[in-house]
Amino acid sequence: MPQFRQDFITKEWVIVSAERAKRPDQFQHERACRTDRPAHDANCPFCPGNEDKTPPSVYQQGDGANWRIRVVPNKFAAVNPALSPKRQRDGVFLSAEGFGVAEVIIENPAHNTCLSLMPPEGVKGVLETYKQRYTALSGNEDIDLVTIFRNHGPAAGTSLEHPHSQVIATPIVPPLVRVLMQQALIYHDTYGECPYCVMMNEEIKRGERIVADGKHFLVFCPYASQSPFQMRIMPKRHHSRFDKINDEEMAELAHMLQTALKKLYIGLNDPDYNLVLHSSPTSDGELHYDHWRMMIIPRITTAAGFELGSGIFINTMPPENAASFLRGVAVN
Amino acid sequence: MPQFRQDFITKEWVIVSAERAKRPDQFQHERACRTDRPAHDANCPFCPGNEDKTPPSVYQQGDGANWRIRVVPNKFAAVNPALSPKRQRDGVFLSAEGFGVAEVIIENPAHNTCLSLMPPEGVKGVLETYKQRYTALSGNEDIDLVTIFRNHGPAAGTSLEHPHSQVIATPIVPPLVRVLMQQALIYHDTYGECPYCVMMNEEIKRGERIVADGKHFLVFCPYASQSPFQMRIMPKRHHSRFDKINDEEMAELAHMLQTALKKLYIGLNDPDYNLVLHSSPTSDGELHYDHWRMMIIPRITTAAGFELGSGIFINTMPPENAASFLRGVAVN
């Protein structure tokens, strides 16, 4: 029987359509094995030896040419730090110059690796870099929101194979972010608890949508997942801002993130996905009602006219089935 | 210079990145010509002679086997009219059985046509069918929202070539729809005018984003378009509900819709697109602050992690350039 489900935070609805469900293995990707690619590509601007094809690093792990991770300004940035953040009215239309900061995090010297394949300390280095850039960009008082994300594969919006993440810092907190926060605020004002903490405890109690449960982090498939195999990674300690993460948590997060991505990589044969880090607007300080988290969104289905028109997504993979499948994928 | 722009109604922001703009012809699709396909496909469930492969028509134009348009229940529906619309609480989770009505509008007997290619009276027949189904489903008191849409091509979410639209009627008005309506309501409460009427008049005054301007309808590329070549078709006479359209308007709408789609078909070589009809929830009656409209959303770019995380879309085709290009495409 198909079922409407409402997301506890966003209040958006999905239709979970078990009748149309495929078996998990029918979602497998046809990509050729990533490790069949060369470890170094002389034409890749992110490969070692081509450092002059990018602007100089703004942050680096490893010394000089022996870098392990490099952060460089995005040469094809959609925003520019030299512009003004000031809003401008023109009749009914509101605009601003495209002020902002866009950076590329080159995650590893190897061209043919990814977060699922690199050594655990490599994943930890990437997350430390996320924190370093989040903290550095938070210091810019014209910046209100720092979005850190990863596009993996063409269906996720990237044509560049070399493993990389991106950072875009904007002077704007958009409605998608603010409306969610307002829903969480209303919940907190009503019940006196963070709704994310409440949801996470409920998921732990039920168990059926959990992919991995650690001391500090929970990985689960959300109750109202909009598309197959979505995963959320949430810290058990309440904080609205990612930069509050401590070293012990960072080590576990690296392990949990790699576990989640490796389960996708092995179970679905390296599907395209987006990874998004949600953290409160940098101008808002620490909040009782918001809770930082990571979303993994495999891009294996297409939103069509109904989804675009109504915001109601049809998900043919019940998240309980997705979680059960992912729990069963051995990653060691 | 890149520019942030805010949508006048939704308040969502986009970044219009002219630096990264391609020429319009670089967005051309590689699809083989649609008319090279056979006019009849014996394996297609929507082709004449295969009427027994679908459930019986719930509405039809033309008699018996000589149908011009057929509406049939969707055999692979995500919702089911035999279920209950009642919401159910289970701890913090809210759900409902998947009650609803899903129908397919088979737009034409010919397998190899589309709204851009069929005779004008064929397009008018499709729109009359939209109105008939909207009206019929509005009569169901458990239905709150009737979404009518069209998925054209694989990137728009369909693998079926035979020209068809879809209807999904749900007992739920989702936040995507309601939040927009609330923004419009606040504007109306503040200024005493429908914000869509205000925006449309502003677009007519400026002219630069207009694709076609008729007696009853305006076709334009929205100021804060989220992706290249988006078009909005709006009635100049204020109504929140599509079923208020009269016969004279219907004839012009058919012409304007076909003109808009033909310009895409010729100018960009038949790109995949979604067409969505937005009309007020059927349970709300006629509203001063809402305004029915159609959206044409070409699916020629991919939303990536930044868009999914922030809701801020990066659009590399300024809508003024898109409108200028589309105005220049001859369709007669």
Assess contact for A250 and A127: CB atoms under 8 A.
yes
Hey, is the C-beta of B179 within 8 angstroms of any chain A C-beta? Answer: yes
Tokens found for residue A119: 């050594």
Place of tokens 């300080």: A285
Give the amino acid at A89: R
pLDDT at A18 over 80: no
In this prediction, residues A109-128 reach a mean pLDDT of 96
Query: Distance (Å) from the C-alpha of residue B193 to the closest C-alpha of chain A?
Result: 13
pLDDT digit string (tens) for B117-165? Answer: 999 999 999 999 999 999 999 999 999 999 999 999 999 999 799 999 9
Residues 30-69 of B with CB under 8 A from A: none
Hey, is the C-beta of A204 within 8 angstroms of any chain B C-beta? Answer: no
Give the amino acid at A14: V
Residue B175: closest C-alpha in chain A = A12
Hey, is the C-beta of A12 within 8 angstroms of any chain B C-beta? Answer: yes
Tokens found for residue A285: 């300080």
Distance CA B290, CA B302 (A): 30
Mean of per-residue pLDDT scores for chain B: 95
Residue A153: closest C-alpha in chain B = B304
Between chains, do A2 and B306 touch, taking CB under 8 Å as contact? Answer: no
Q: Give burial (CB, 10 Å; 0-12/13-18/19+) of A52.
A: exposed
- What one-character DSSP code corresponds to residue A244? G
Residues 232-291 of A with CB under 8 A from B: 274-278
In this prediction, residues A215-222 reach a mean pLDDT of 98
Look at residues B100, B103, B110 and name the one whose alpha carbon lies nearest to residue B71: B103
Beta strands in chain B (DSSP E): 3-6, 13-16, 59-61, 69-73, 87-90, 93-97, 101-106, 145-152, 164-170, 210-213, 217-220, 231-235, 273-278, 293-298, 313-315
Tokens found for residue B305: 């992690």
Mean of per-residue pLDDT scores for chain A: 95
Assess contact for B274 and B156: CB atoms under 8 A.
yes
Own/partner pairs, B95-99, CB within 8 angstroms, 24+ separation: B95/A3, B95/A4, B95/A5, B95/A6, B96/A3, B96/A4, B96/B171, B96/B172, B97/A1, B97/A2, B97/A3, B97/A4, B98/A1, B98/A2, B98/A3, B98/A4, B98/A15, B98/A16, B98/A17, B99/A4, B99/B142, B99/B170, B99/B171
Between chains, do B302 and A154 touch, taking CB under 8 Å as contact? Answer: yes
Of A199, A310, A315, A316, which to mutate for an interface test with B (greatest number of B Cβ within 10 Å)? A310
Q: How far is CA B107 from CA A103, A119, B163, in A?
A: 48, 55, 6
Q: Output phi, psi for A9, to 5 deg.
A: -95, -55
Query: Distance (Å) from the C-alpha of residue A8 to the closest C-alpha of chain B?
Result: 7
Helices (H), B139-246: 175-191, 195-206
Within a 10 A sphere around the Cβ of A13, how many other Cβ atoms? 24
Tokens found for residue B330: 């001859």
In this prediction, residues A179-207 reach a mean pLDDT of 97
Between chains, do A149 and B306 touch, taking CB under 8 Å as contact? Answer: yes
Which residues of A fall within a CB distance of 8 Å from B276?
305, 308-309
Beta strands in chain A (DSSP E): 3-6, 13-16, 59-61, 69-73, 87-90, 93-97, 101-106, 145-152, 164-170, 210-213, 217-220, 231-235, 273-278, 293-298, 313-315
Look at residues A114, A117, A329, A325 and name the one whose alpha carbon lies nearest to residue A221: A325
In this prediction, residues A255-262 reach a mean pLDDT of 98
Q: What is the pLDDT of residue B23?
A: 79
Residue A294: closest C-alpha in chain B = B309
Out of B1, B158, B174, name the one closest to residue A304 (CB). B158
Out of B12, B97, B145, name the one closest to residue A176 (CB). B12
Of A4, A75, A202, A302, which to mutate for an interface test with B (greatest number of B Cβ within 10 Å)? A4
What are the domain boundaries of chain B? 3-327
Look at residues A254, A266, A178, A194 and name the one whose alpha carbon lies nearest to residue A219: A254
pLDDT digit string (tens) for B13-65? Answer: 999 987 767 778 788 877 666 777 899 999 999 999 999 999 999 999 999 99
For residue A140, give every residue at least 6 positions away whose Cβ sits within 8 Å of its Cβ, in sequence order, or none. Answer: A101, A169
Between chains, do B15 and A79 touch, taking CB under 8 Å as contact? Answer: yes
Which residues of A fall within a CB distance of 8 Å from B309?
147, 149, 274, 276-278, 295
Q: What is the pLDDT of residue B20?
A: 67
Q: What is the pLDDT of residue A159?
A: 79
Quickly state the pLDDT bin for A32 (edges 50, 70, 90).
low
In this prediction, residues A96-124 reach a mean pLDDT of 97
Between chains, do A95 and B4 touch, taking CB under 8 Å as contact? Answer: yes
Of B205, B220, B277, B310, which to mutate for an interface test with A (greatest number of A Cβ within 10 Å)? B310
Helices (H), B207-301: 247-267
For strands B313-315 and B13-16, give the pairing.
parallel
pLDDT at A185 over 70: yes
Q: Can you give the pTM of this predicted structure? A: 0.96
Place of tokens 């280095």: A125
Please name the fold of domain A3-327: HIT family, subunit A (3.30.428)
Distance CA A163, CA A104 (A): 10
Hey, is the C-beta of B18 within 8 angstroms of any chain A C-beta? Answer: no
